[in-house]
Each structure stands twice: as structure tokens, then as C-alpha cells.
Amino acid sequence: MKLTVVGCSGSFPSAESACSSYLVEADGFRLLLDMGNGALGELQRHIGLYDLDAIFLSHLHADHCIDMCGYFVARYYRHEGGRCDALPVYAPEGAEQRLTTAYADTPSPSSMSEVFDFRTLGSDTFELGPFTIRTEKVCHPVEAYGIRVEHGGRSLAYSGDTGVCEELHALADGVDLFLCEASFTHGKEDIPELHLNGREAGAHAARAGVGRLVLTHIPPWTDGERNLADARAVYGGPAELAKSGAVYEV
């Protein structure tokens, strides 16, 4: 599998990166994990506008899904003639209505579904193109999911947004690459069931025995290097900060 960091800034974009969005490719199939603020522009650095095969939206906070409104325009009013086919979009319940409201003036209440095939997420295992997917509900103030993607004996997991939870451990168990949020700073913010700090991300990685830890969703006001040091204090494997444009062969 090939993993490309399209955007990795937490909560709002930074000068260096769009918000959460990660492209996973294998056997010519392209799955996008989240499409936060600014991701649609960055995505076009890596693939064509219409090259996606499926989208996973971890939850409906704007920093994970709001560029779907722009992508609706691109697919609905396609200049090359005709609307695009409905692209599978795996998202929590209510995604279509939420995005339609955010867009504010779609031609009809069902316009989104003409170009997006919304499929409601649950804690589940299913096949998607060449991938075996497992999704688990994680711990966040709104319905939110983490995802595990497997292909050809390799695996990666993406936390989405979550506090400490057993479901995240199950998703990450033994993966080759763990893309884990670390929004908070150990010893600074202490709000339960919202986000992880670097130390908690490292502890999840150590317990799950992952091959590589990539910390992501670090907001512009948070010191990423400190979070990385906190993660390394409890996780002995290779660990680094996600960077916009970074590519991993998993």
C-alpha cells in the first residue's frame, strides 16, 4: 500500500498543511481518508480530481469533511460534460444532510446523493476494492470512527479523532503503520474523551505493537516536537510527525 499525507493539521489548517486527509492506494484503487479544510486543493498535487474510488469520513467535524462541499461542485457541475457517477462515501449517519446544509444551496435536497453514494458507517468489517476494512467507533464528542486498512499481508490504522479507548487498540493491533492523532500536550490539556496527547498516542502504539508510529492532527498552536518526544518516551519503535506531502510505502 502507498500512503500519502494530503493534509495533517489538527482542528484548523496551518501555514504548512491542510486539515486531515490521507490517500491510501493499492492495485490502482484510491481511497481517501477524510477531506478536511484545504484538502481538495492539496489532493490535486497527488492525483487527478476524478481519480478517487472511495472516501471514508471519520466524523463530521469540519476539519475532517468540509472540503466535500467543494468536491460536490467539482463532481456535480463537471465541465467535461455530465455529472460524475456517485462515488462511495463511507461516513457516520447524517453525513448527506450535514454536507447539504453546509453547502447551503444545492439544486435539490438530494443533489449530493447524485454524485456521492453515502454509506452509513458502523463498527464493521468489509471488503472495499483490494482492501479489507475494519471500522470501530472511537471516543469523541460526536460519532467518530477509526479505520484499519489491510492489503497483501500489510496493514495500517488511522485513529481519526479520539480519546483513549480500547477500540483504538483493537484497530491498531500489530499494524505496520499507525497514523495516530496527538492533538493535546501531556501535562497541559486534560480533557477526557476528546483527543490524545503524544504520550497517550505512544502508549497505544507500544501496547498494540505497531511497526511505525506517525503522529498527526497536531494543531498549529501545539508543539509537535514535544508531542513526538512524549510519544518516544513510551514507544521504542520508529516514530515521526506527519508532514504534508509525505509518502509511505506500507
Q: Which residues bind Zn ion (CB under 5 A)?
A: 61, 63, 161
Q: Tell the smallest beta-carbon distance from residue 185 to Zn ion (Å).
A: 16
Q: Tell the smallest beta-carbon distance from residue 148 to Zn ion (Å).
A: 19
Q: Tell the smallest beta-carbon distance from residue 10 to Zn ion (Å).
A: 6
Q: Tell the smallest beta-carbon distance from residue 109 to Zn ion (Å).
A: 26
Identify which of residues 30 and 217 has a Cβ nearer to Zn ion in the complex: 217
Identify which of residues 63 and 96 has a Cβ nearer to Zn ion in the complex: 63
Q: Tell the smallest beta-carbon distance from residue 140 to Zn ion (Å).
A: 6
Residues contacting residue 194 through CB under 8 Å, at least 6 positions apart: 140, 141, 161, 163, 183, 184
CB 23 within 8 A of CB 35: no
Identify which of residues 26 and 65 has a Cβ nearer to Zn ion in the complex: 65
Q: Tell the smallest beta-carbon distance from residue 105 to Zn ion (Å).
A: 26
DSSP 33-101: E---TTHHHHHHHHS-TT--SEEE-S--SHHHHTTHHHHHHHHHS-TTSSPPPPEEEEE-TTHHHHHHH
CB 213 within 8 A of CB 239: yes
Residues contacting residue 166 through CB under 8 Å, at least 6 positions apart: none
Identify which of residues 1 and 89 has a Cβ nearer to Zn ion in the complex: 89
Identify which of residues 150 and 161 has a Cβ nearer to Zn ion in the complex: 161
Q: For residues 130 and 28, give the distance between their C-alpha atoms in angstroms, rounded to a whole number.
A: 9
Identify which of residues 65 and 239 has a Cβ nearer to Zn ion in the complex: 65
If we measure between CA atoms, which residue out of 139, 110, 134 comes closest to residue 122? 134
Residues contacting residue 70 through CB under 8 Å, at least 6 positions apart: 40
